[in-house]
Amino acid sequence: MYKKIVSSLLAIVALSTASVAQVQRMMPFQAGERVTFVGNSITEAGYYESYIWLYYMLHFPARKITVYNCGIGGDRAQNILGRIDKDVFAKKPTTICVTFGMNDSGYFEYLSGNGDSTGQQKAKESKRFFDTIEQKLKAYVPAKKIMITSSLYDETMKNPKNYFPKKSLSMNTIAAFQEKAAQDNHWGFVDFLHPMTEITLREQRKDSAFTLTSSDRIHPGNAGHFVMAWLFLKQQGLAGKPVADIAIDAAAKKIQHQENCQLSALSVTPGTVQVDYLANSLPFPQDTVSRMWENPQRQADALKVIPFTEDMNREMLTVHGLAAGDYSVMIDGKPIGNWSGEQLGAGINLALVKTTPQYDQAMTVLLLNEERMALESKLRAYYWLQFNYLKEIGMQFNDNKVAMDSVASRATRDWAVASKRDNYRAARYAAVRASWQRQIDALVNEMYTLNQPKKHTIKIVKAG
C-alpha cells in the first residue's frame, strides 16, 4: 500500500512540474499594495504570509505594502464564498490571494474504503462553490488575483493519526482546477502542494520520520510555512536577488563589484582594508524558536531542505588579494568574526553572521512582526466566531450580551468556540478592535522606520 501511494504521489508531482511551467510568472508586490491572503486554518495561523511580508520589509525597505490575514480555520470554498464580500473585499485589496483544498477534500469519509469516489465527489463539490468565487473575483476589478494550491496532506509520514488514504488525490484534482482558473483568467498561480510533496518524499527516503506538517499530517509547522513563503517569493521572480554583493581587490586598492549597495571611502593600507558600506536591503534573520502550538518545528529548520539562503539571503563580502593569514572583521568598530585571507577571497555571507548590526536590525523587525501577528490573531479569532458560529444562529455582528451568552454556552460543548470565547469578551466591543488595529498600524509604521538600511564601516585587519 505504501509503495502504491508513493508511486501515485510521484506521478502527480511529475505531471504538475510540466503544467507549472505554463503559468505566467507573477510580478513582485509594489509600493502601496494591499494584499489579502484568503484561506483556512493554515492561513489563519499567519506564518507563511508573515514570512512573505517580512521578506518585503527587509529586502524592499522603501516599498511599503500592507498584508492582511484573511484565514479562518475549517474553511472550504463554500465558506470563503460566504464571507468574501464582508471579510475580503471590505479591506479594499489591490491583490487577492486565495487558497483552499485541505478541508474541501474531506477527512473521515475516506475510511469507508471508497477513496476514489469520495475524492471525486469532494472535488466536484468544491468546484461548484469555486465557480461562483471565480465570478466574484473576476467582477472585483480593482485587484489582481493569485490562486494558491493547498499545502500538502502528508499521506506518507510514519504516524497512525489522521490517515485518510487517497485524500491527496482529491487535493490534486482541486489544485488542477485552481491552476486552470489562473490560466484562463491570466491570474497568478502558486503551487504549494506538489513541491512540498516532492520535498517530503525526497526527505523521507533519508529519514522516514521527516515531515513538513505536524503529527496531524495537515498543519505545517514553522518550517513548512517558511517553505511556503519561499515558494511564493520564487514564483514572484525574487530568487537570485542578493541582500548585497561586494567585492574588493585589496592588491589593486579598488572596488571590483557592488550590487544592491553603495561603497565609498575605500582605504587599503598594509594589513588593513576599510570601506563604508550602505546596503539597499537587510538580511533575513533565521528564527530558531518553535512558535506553533504542539509543533517543535522552527523556521530555521527549513534551511535544511530548501536553498533559501542561496536564492534570497546572500549578503556577500569578498576581498581578493589579501596576504595569507587570519583576519578580524569589524563593523562600526565591533568585531563580528575571524576569517582567513583565503576564506575572505572566496567570499563570506554576512547574512548568516548573527553578530552584525544589520542582523540585529533585521531581528528587531522580525520580533515586531511577531507582535503584529499576535494582535492580528485576536481579530481573526473574532471573525472566526462571526462566520463559523454567530452567522449560523442569526447573530452575526450583533456583539451584544445575548451573543456573548450564546458563545459562552456553546463553549461548554465545543472546543473550537471555547478557544475563542475569552478573546470574544473583549473583541465584541468595537472600541477594543479599533484599539488593536491602531496598535497594528503603529507597529507597521515602526517596522518601516526601523527597517531602513544604515551606512556602516567595514574594517578588515590582519591578525597580529
How far is the CA of 64 from the CAs of 54, 157, 165, 287, 437, in angstroms?
A: 11, 40, 44, 23, 17
φ/ψ of residue 92, rounded to 5: 55, 55
List the grid coordinates of 20. Answer: 507549472
Q: Are residues 231 and 248 in the same domain?
A: no
Contact, 237 vs 63, CB < 8 A? no
What gap in Å lies between CA 267 and CA 71, rounded to an integer? 53
Contact, 266 vs 275, CB < 8 A? yes
Place of cell 452575526: 396
Per-residue pLDDT 10s for the chain (464 aa) are 445 555 556 555 555 544 444 556 799 999 999 999 999 999 999 999 999 999 999 999 999 999 999 999 999 999 999 999 999 999 999 999 999 999 999 999 999 888 789 999 999 999 999 999 999 999 999 999 999 999 999 999 988 889 999 999 999 999 999 999 999 999 999 999 999 999 999 999 999 999 999 999 999 999 999 999 999 999 999 999 999 999 999 999 999 999 999 999 999 999 999 999 999 999 999 888 888 888 899 999 999 999 999 999 999 999 999 999 999 999 999 999 999 999 999 999 999 999 999 999 999 999 999 999 999 999 999 999 999 999 999 999 999 999 999 999 999 999 999 999 999 999 999 999 999 999 999 999 999 999 999 999 999 999 97
Q: Are residues 219 and 187 in the same domain?
A: yes
Q: Are residues 228 and 266 in the same domain?
A: no
Tally the domains of the chain: 2
The reported pTM is: 0.95
Residue 345 within a domain: yes
Contact, 91 vs 68, CB < 8 A? yes
Place of cell 516532492: 198
Q: Are residues 328 and 457 in the same domain?
A: yes
Q: Are residues 368 and 447 in the same domain?
A: yes
Residue 77's CB: how many other CB atoms inside 10 A? 24
Q: Are residues 213 and 249 in the same domain?
A: no
Residue 302 within a domain: no
Residue 171's CB: how many other CB atoms inside 10 A? 29
- From 64, 223, 93, select the one nearest 151 (Cα to Cα): 223
Q: Tell whether the torsion through CA atoms of 201, 202, 205 and 209 is positive or negative.
A: negative
Residue 228 within a domain: yes
Question: Of the residues 180, 202, 235, which one is the last residue of a structural domain?
Answer: 235
What gap in Å lies between CA 403 and CA 387, rounded to an integer? 13
Helix (H), strand (E) at residue 419: helix 415-427
Could you write out the three-class secondary structure of 41-66? HHHHCCHHHHHHHHHHHHHCCCCCCE
Residue 191 within a domain: yes
Residue 414 within a domain: yes
Q: Are residues 167 and 273 in the same domain?
A: no
Find the CATH number of the domain harbouring 74.
3.40.50.1110
Range of the domain at 223: 2-235
Q: Are residues 63 and 189 in the same domain?
A: yes
Residue 328 within a domain: yes
Residue 300 within a domain: no
Place of cell 544589520: 358
Residue 306 within a domain: no
